[in-house]
C-alpha cells in the first residue's frame, strides 16, 4: 500500500507582507502567490507518477471559507487529473476553509470523498484486495473546542485503519482547534494518524505513526525550510507503515546570518551580504530574514542606526532588485543581534532575571493571548519557541529604553 498524506494547502494565501512591500518587485509577489498552486500541482503529478493507492488532504485546502473562483477551478482541475488515473482522494475542511452549512458547495469528481461535520468512516478496497477504513470530519465553524477524538471509532475496521484529524495537541488554556492528546490517539488502535493544522512537519509518535506533514508552502518567516508532503508506504513486514518527506514548495523562507564587526561600514555590510547570497547558490527562490550577529565589541554605530530605521535593508534591496531572480533570493527583513544581553541597574536586573522566565513561557503567553487565538496566524506564531525568544528580546530592549529615559528625567 502506498498513499500521500498532505494538508494545509492554503490556496489563495494573500502573502500580504510581500504584496504590501513597495520595495518588493511585483513579479516576486506573483511568484509567491502562485507557489501553493505550483506545490500542489507537483504533489498531484507525483501521485500519478508513483501510482499511489489514494491521497489524503487533511484540512485548510483554501486559505479562507470564501476562496476565489480561480482557486476553486484549480482544485477541481487537479482532482480531475487524479480521477482520470482512478486515484481516490479523501478530503476534509479545516478552520480556515470551514463549511458553515456542513457541506461543501463544490461538485467534486467522483474519485473524491469529502468528510462532513460529524466523524464518519469511509471504506476503500485497493486493487490487491487490501481494505482500508479512513475516519475523519470537516469543520463547520472556525473553532471547534469539543473533543472530537472521542467520536472516532475504536479498533480496526479494515486491514488498515487511518484517522484524519485537523487539530492541535491540547496546550495551556487554549483548546480551539479540535484539541487532542497523543495517548488519546494511540488508544484508538489505528495504523496511522494523518494530522493537519500545524504548519511544522513533525512526528508525534512512531508506533503508530502520528504525523503532521506541515503546509505545502511556507507563508512567512515562522514557516522556514522545505515544504511538501509525506509519502506513506507499507514496509517489508507488509503492515507497518513508513513515511518519507518529499519537498515540492517552489519558494523557501529561511534565515540568513552573518557576523559583523565594529569596523565594518554600511557599504561593507551590504557587500558581505550580497557575497554570501551569491555563494549560497540557491536552486529555488529563497525569501530571507537577515540577522547581523554582532561581535562582543558591537557594531558600527552607522550600521546599527541604519539597520534600525530600515535604510540598510533598503540599500540591500536596491542591489538585489535587478538580480533577485538570478540569485534566487530576496531579503524582506533585517535585524541586528547583539551578543550580550542588555544590562539594567542592579535592582532592575535582579527583578528582570527573576520574572522573565515566568512571563515568557508558553502557558503564560497562551493565557494572555487567549482571545487573540481566534486569529490562526497568531496561534501559529506564538506556538513557535523562537518567537517567544524574539518577544522577550524586544521587551528587554523596550524596558531598557524606558529605564534610560527615566534615568535621564531624574537627572534633570
pLDDT tens profile 161-194: 999 999 999 876 557 899 999 999 999 999 999 9
In this predicted model, what pLDDT tens digit does every residue of 357-380 receive, in sequence order?
666 666 566 556 555 555 555 555
Which domains does the chain carry? 2-247 (3.60.21.10), 251-411 (no CATH)
User: Residue 170 has which C-alpha cell?
Assistant: 491540547
Burial 176-205 (b: 16+ CB within 10 A, else e): bbbbbeeeebeebebbbbbbbbbbbbeebe
Which of 1-15, 143-157, 231-245, 351-365 is the least confident region? 351-365
pTM assigned to the model: 0.82
Q: Tell me the average pLDDT across 339-366.
A: 59
State the alpha helices, DSSP H only, in 240-291. 266-280
Higher pLDDT, 227 or 66: 227
With a cut of 50, say whether residue 67 has pLDDT above it: yes
Q: Are 163 and 190 in contact (CB under 8 A)?
A: yes
Q: Tell me the average pLDDT across 285-293.
A: 96
CA distance 380 to 389: 15
Predicted confidence band at 408 (pLDDT cuts at 50, 70, 90)? very low
User: For a pLDDT cut of 70, what percent of the chain falls above it?
Assistant: 81
CA 328, distance to chain mean position in Å, is: 21
Contacts of 20 (CB under 8 A, 6+ apart): none
In this predicted model, what pLDDT tens digit does every residue of 208-234 receive, in sequence order?
999 999 999 999 999 999 999 999 999
Q: Tell me the average pLDDT across 284-303.
A: 92
> Which residue, among 164, 163, 173, 159, has the nearest Cα to 131 in the 3D structure?
159
> Which residue, among 57, 66, 89, has the nearest Cα to 196 in the 3D structure?
57
Predicted confidence band at 19 (pLDDT cuts at 50, 70, 90)? confident
3-state helix, strand, coil split of the chain in percent (to 5) is 35, 25, 40
Contacts of 263 (CB under 8 A, 6+ apart): 300
Mean of all residue pLDDT scores within the chain? 87
In DSSP notation, 367-382 reads HHTGGGGGSHHHHHHH
Q: Are 220 and 16 in contact (CB under 8 A)?
A: no
Count of CB atoms situated within 10 Å of the CB of 145: 12
With a cut of 50, say whether residue 271 has pLDDT above it: yes
User: Residue 347 has which C-alpha cell?
Assistant: 535592582
With a cut of 60, say whether residue 344 has pLDDT above it: no
Amino acid at each position: 500500500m502506498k498513499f500521500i498524506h498532505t494538508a494545509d494547502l492554503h490556496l489563495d494565501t494573500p502573502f500580504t507582507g510581500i504584496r504590501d512591500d513597495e520595495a518588493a518587485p511585483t513579479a516576486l509577489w506573483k511568484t509567491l502567490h502562485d507557489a501553493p498552486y505550483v506545490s500542489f500541482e507537483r504533489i498531484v503529478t507525483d501521485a500519478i507518477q508513483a501510482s499511489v493507492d489514494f491521497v489524503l488532504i487533511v484540512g485548510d485546502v483554501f486559505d479562507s471559507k470564501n476562496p476565489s473562483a480561480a482557486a476553486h477551478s484549480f482544485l477541481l482541475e487537479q482532482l480531475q487529473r487524479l480521477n482520470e488515473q482512478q486515484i481516490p482522494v479523501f478530503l476534509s475542511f479545516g478552520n480556515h476553509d470551514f463549511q458553515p452549512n456542513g457541506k461543501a458547495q463544490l461538485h467534486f469528481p467522483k474519485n473524491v470523498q469529502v468528510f462532513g461535520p460529524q466523524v464518519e468512516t469511509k471504506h476503500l478496497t485497493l486493487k490487491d484486495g487490501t481494505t482500508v477504513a479512513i475516519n475523519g470530519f470537516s469543520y463547520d465553524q472556525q473553532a471547534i473546542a469539543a473533543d472530537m477524538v472521542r467520536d472516532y471509532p475504536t479498533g480496526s475496521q479494515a486491514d488498515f485503519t487511518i484517522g484524519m484529524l485537523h487539530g492541535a495537541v491540547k496546550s495551556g488554556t487554549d483548546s480551539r482547534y479540535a484539541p487532542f492528546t497523543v495517548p488519546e490517539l494511540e488508544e484508538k488502535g489505528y495504523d496511522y494518524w494523518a494530522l493537519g493544522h500545524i504548519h511544522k512537519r513533525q512526528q508525534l509518535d512512531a508506533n503508530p505513526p502520528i504525523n503532521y506533514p506541515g503546509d505545502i508552502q511556507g507563508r512567512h518567516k515562522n514557516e522556514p525550510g522545505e515544504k511538501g508532503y509525506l509519502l506513506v508506504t507499507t514496509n517489508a513486514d507488509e503492515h507497518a507503515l513508513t513515511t518519507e518527506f518529499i519537498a515540492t514548495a517552489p519558494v523557501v523562507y529561511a534565515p540568513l546570518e552573518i557576523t559583523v564587526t565594529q569596523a565594518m561600514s554600511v557599504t561593507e555590510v551590504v557587500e558581505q551580504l550580497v557575497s554570501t547570497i551569491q555563494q549560497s547558490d540557491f536552486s529555488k527562490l529563497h525569501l530571507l530574514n537577515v540577522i547581523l550577529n554582532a561581535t562582543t565589541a558591537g557594531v558600527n554605530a552607522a550600521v546599527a542606526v541604519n539597520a534600525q530605521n530600515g535604510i540598510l535593508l533598503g540599500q540591500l534591496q536596491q542591489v538585489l532588485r535587478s538580480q533577485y531572480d538570478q540569485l534566487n533570493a530576496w531579503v524582506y527583513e533585517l535585524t541586528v543581534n547583539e551578543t550580550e544581553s542588555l544590562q539594567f541597574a542592579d535592582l532592575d536586573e535582579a527583578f528582570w532575571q527573576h520574572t522573565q522566565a515566568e512571563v515568557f513561557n508558553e502557558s503564560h503567553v497562551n493565557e494572555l493571548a487567549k482571545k487573540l487565538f481566534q486569529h490562526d496566524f497568531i496561534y501559529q506564531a506564538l506556538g513557535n519557541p523562537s518567537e517567544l525568544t524574539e518577544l522577550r528580546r524586544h521587551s528587554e530592549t523596550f524596558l531598557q529604553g524606558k529605564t534610560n529615559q527615566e534615568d535621564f528625567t531624574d537627572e534633570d
